[in-house]
Chains A and B, each alone.
Chain A
């Protein structure tokens, strides 16, 4: 029981500090919060207290999207491997593979500085498709595949998937693929 005055003071400080830090951490970007956040970040990252409660906010995704690896082999043949495409999966598969959707949600936009992570994703994709050492890939194109959801109310009774489009966001060549 916390009856000792010093213990109560210590706990009160602990409570106060954490409530203030959590509040400051969650503030939207501004001159004030941008100055404070670097001071809070080391502790929050260390202790895994980072939090951002902005799921589907301020605007939910307006497109269905996934990543696709196009693996090219020496003989010219190609294999495709989808990352984070769950729309045609069974419920149990979705439960297990939901984290690949999260991966795509995090890294699909190269403009947000995710490019350094693409080579490893390409290597991973190539390994998932084939581990045959006699048939190494010569190239892996990482493609962003997306389909814009139709605007409401016209889209209410339509298939949300209208037309899949894709563009290459990264190409890993043989040398990069061979690098562990």
Chain B
């Protein structure tokens, strides 16, 4: 196979879209979770009497920006959130998916840019995936759109295949996330020396539930957690691609992120990453 053929095969060969449909559902549920968690604190984060006014939000992200709050009444946050919840639900079930995908991206980008002081990595990754997701056939499978298309005879009865290039972009974004995460970690002495997780697990603002004492209260346990984290993040971008090592790599990532979710409160990050893992469960 020539380079050109390999490129075309990787990016443009039609592929089974069932994993993409599952990803859409998972991502939609994560969006609903994010929005649901904002409901109790809407006033604190998105009102003029909260921690950041609309004018202040423009200090870091000046115009032109993709923030619908700039064009809506200043007290629109409850209605805006309500609309986003409806759009997210429709996106999840795959109704008018392309349109909902666009609206969801616009809405989440607006929420991010309205108050960037409270954003974590999960928010950033979520919005980036929604951006690339606008170009992906997210509604082809496991969706009301797909059901409707089959009834009208516009889709075959078997597995649906379709354009995969936007899915590849999302997959590569995940790999780049792990690559740069490893890059920045190994520049730190505490990661190279194996003591990084000692500090992380003693940051009580983040800790959720304590890990077994053998892991968190011994240097051997701390070293294991630190180097284990580095190893998974370092190997993921490489070993997730070959079919032979993909399942193992995804399993290791699953353990890593479930472990992080058990021990730490880091917003929606783990859920976004685990939803993205569904993109790698492609069938050839």
Instruction: Decide if B177 touches A86 in the complex (CB within 8 Å).
Output: no
Number of interface residues of A (CB under 8 A): 69
- The segment from B19-27, B41-49, B90-98, B242-250 that touches chain A is B41-49
Number of interface residues of B (CB under 8 A): 76
Residue of A22, A58, A155 near B202 (CB, 8 A) is: A155
List residues of chain A with CB within 8 A of the CB of B259: none
List residues of chain A with CB within 8 A of the CB of B168: 15
Known contacts A58-B188, A101-B206; A46/B64 CB under 8 A: yes
List residues of chain A with CB within 8 A of the CB of B269: 55
Does A12 have its Cβ within 8 Å of any Cβ on chain B? Answer: yes
Instruction: Decide if B205 touches A66 in the complex (CB within 8 Å).
Output: yes
Instruction: Decide if B51 touches A124 in the complex (CB within 8 Å).
Output: yes
Does B204 have its Cβ within 8 Å of any Cβ on chain A? Answer: yes
Instruction: Scan B260-283; emit 1 where CB is below 8 A from any A CB, else 0.
Output: 000001110100000000000000
Does B150 have its Cβ within 8 Å of any Cβ on chain A? Answer: no
Instruction: Decide if A15 touches B165 in the complex (CB within 8 Å).
Output: yes
Instruction: Decide if B131 touches A49 in the complex (CB within 8 Å).
Output: yes
Q: How far is the CA of A22 from the CA of B44 in the complex (A)?
A: 32
List residues of chain A with CB within 8 A of the CB of B265: 86, 94-95, 98, 101
List residues of chain A with CB within 8 A of the CB of B173: 22
Nearest chain-A residue to B121 (Cβ)? A55
Instruction: Decide if B44 touches A124 in the complex (CB within 8 Å).
Output: yes
Residue of A11, A23, A45, A66 near B165 (CB, 8 A) is: A11
Nearest chain-B residue to A94 (Cβ)? B265
Residue of B61, B119, B181, B199 near A62 (CB, 8 A) is: B199
Q: 22 A-B contacts, Cβ less than 8 Å apart?
A: A19-B172, A22-B176, A45-B61, A46-B66, A48-B109, A58-B185, A58-B187, A59-B190, A61-B199, A85-B205, A91-B208, A91-B209, A96-B40, A98-B120, A99-B45, A103-B117, A120-B51, A123-B49, A149-B203, A155-B198, A156-B217, A156-B219
